[in-house]
């Protein structure tokens, strides 16, 4: 017997989101005076507030529908996302596609940029979760290796087209996020571990071979990578390992380390930012937090993200509908990777990939995508039923 038929709102998750939003808007407000003159015409603080307001509407709309209904439109959403990526790749319609820093990843509409790759993240999670549930619903009593391999082919198969189109832009960051999403869902899909361990072994062997080729044939391998869609990765990789030597690619990292280090324990204080860093309101916003508020302020932000992921994990574990669990796990994979990558690249733990810090970096498409994701998590939580004799 169900003892809770009403919707359950996760106020803890909402309060965490409000706290992160406050950090974002306040940081953008303090950054504004330090930005280059080309940004004088735009107030990132007020625009971020507007994006958060629109994102709140998106959450409310998502909450109106049972999350299970999104399964009915999984292929439609996926197809729409791939179509937008194709339009970007083919420059259709002419003049609408926007290119920046060598990457063609956006539409320019009414002076606002829209990045289809951001929305593709959520669309892919919905479809992959749907495919896993449908596959497992037809599971035979004696589940064979072939059956598990076929599920693996489905999960990876739907991920390859958007990943290929995003690689052509080129957008390494979004490419890696889609890879992380796919890996997270594969881990919880029910595919037997010996298959997964075999795949990990093959990937490890390929990685070792590539490292060996770079060791013995560095010039040829570097030329091959430069001529590929991810040719810019070579410079970023060298800029990560030896930022002082490769000044062009390592400049942003060197400045980021200077800013974070200068913040020390307590920080320099509000708006006390003497280190100039390009694109500080987007990808490098964590450095502004660290410089102003030091290790203490940075730790608060990391703790907020930890609590956010913790609440999402709780939702995934407590959901008694497989689709809700898989959906939440995919979103956990998306957020966890982006948070780790963004903060990691700011402290030279990882190479710079241009990924924004979720909910904190300025950006319309990215923020709406994150709010849509949180709306889905709240939806799963609100419709998770509890029963009298649940253990």
The tens digit of pLDDT for each residue in 109-119 reads 877 888 999 99
* Peptide bond before residue 170 is cis, with ω within 30 degrees of 0: yes
- Give the whole-angstrom CA distance, residue 205 versus residue 259: 38
Residue 242 vs residue 13, higher pLDDT: 13
Cβ proximity of 358 and 370 under 8 Å: yes
What percent of the chain is modeled with pLDDT above 90? Answer: 52
Percent of the chain with pLDDT over 70: 93
Residue 388 belongs to some domain of the structure: no
Residue 310 in domain: yes
Local confidence band at 2 (pLDDT 50, 70, 90 cut-offs): very low
Residue 2 belongs to a domain: no
In a domain, 110, yes or no: yes
339 belongs to a structural domain: yes
Please give the model's pTM, rounded to 2 decimal places.
0.90
Instruction: Please say whether the beta carbons of 10 and 381 come within 8 A.
Output: yes
Q: Please state the rounded mean pLDDT for residues 343-372.
A: 91
Structural domain contains residue 387: no
Q: What is the DSSP string of 173-239?
A: HHHHHHHHHHHHHHHHTT--HHHHHHHHHHHHHHHHHHHHHHHH-HHHHHHHHHTSTTTHHHHHHHH
Q: Is 220 a residue whose pLDDT tops 90?
A: no
* DSSP codes, 89-137: HHT-STTTEEEETTEEEEEEETTEEE-HHHHHHHHHHHHHHHHHHHHHH
* 327 CA to centre of own chain: 15
Give the chain's domain count. Answer: 1
The answer to whether residue 390 scores a pLDDT higher than 70 is no
pLDDT of 391: 53
Q: Where residue 227 falls among pLDDT bands split at 50, 70, 90?
A: low
Q: Which domain holds residue 113?
A: 11-382
Predicted local confidence at residue 313, as pLDDT = 96
Say if residue 251's pLDDT is above 70. yes
């Amino acid at each position: 017997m169900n003892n809770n038929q009403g919707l359950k709102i996760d106020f803890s998750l909402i309060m965490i989101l409000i706290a992160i939003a406050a950090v974002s808007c306040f940081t953008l407000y303090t950054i504004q005076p330090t930005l280059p003159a080309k940004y004088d015409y735009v107030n990132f603080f007020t625009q971020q507030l507007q994006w958060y307001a629109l994102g709140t509407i998106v959450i409310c709309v998502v909450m109106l529908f049972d999350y299970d209904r999104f399964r009915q439109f999984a292929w439609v959403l996926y197809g729409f996302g791939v179509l937008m990526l194709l339009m970007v790749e083919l420059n259709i319609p002419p003049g609408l596609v926007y290119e920046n820093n060598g990457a063609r990843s956006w539409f320019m509409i009414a002076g606002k940029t829209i990045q289809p790759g951001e929305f593709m993240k959520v669309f892919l999670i919905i479809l992959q979760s749907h495919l896993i549930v449908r596959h497992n619903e037809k599971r035979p009593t004696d589940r064979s290796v072939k059956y598990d391999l076929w599920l693996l082919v489905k999960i990876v198969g739907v991920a390859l087209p958007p990943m290929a189109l995003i690689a052509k832009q080129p957008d390494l960051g979004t490419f890696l996020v889609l890879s992380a999403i796919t890996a997270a869902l594969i881990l919880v899909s029910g595919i037997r571990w010996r298959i997964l361990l075999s795949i990990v072994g093959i990937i490890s062997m390929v990685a070792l071979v590539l490292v060996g080729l770079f060791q013995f044939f560095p010039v040829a391998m570097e030329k091959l990578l430069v001529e590929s869609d991810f040719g810019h990765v070579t410079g970023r990789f060298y800029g990560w390992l030896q930022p002082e030597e490769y000044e062009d690619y390592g400049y942003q990292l060197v400045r980021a380390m200077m800013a974070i280090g200068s913040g020390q324990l307590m920080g320099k204080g509000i708006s006390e930012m003497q280190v100039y860093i390009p694109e500080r309101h987007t990808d490098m916003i964590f450095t502004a937090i660290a410089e102003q508020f030091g290790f203490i302020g940075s730790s608060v932000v990391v703790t907020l993200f930890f609590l956010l992921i913790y609440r999402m994990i709780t939702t995934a574990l407590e959901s008694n509908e497989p689709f809700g669990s898989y959906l939440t796990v995919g979103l956990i994979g998306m957020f966890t990777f982006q948070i780790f990558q963004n903060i990691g690249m700011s402290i030279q733990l990882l190479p710079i990939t241009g990924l924004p810090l979720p909910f904190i970096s300025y950006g319309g498409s990215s923020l709406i995508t994150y709010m849509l994701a949180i709306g889905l998590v709240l939806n799963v939580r609100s419709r998770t039923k509890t029963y009298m004799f649940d253990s």
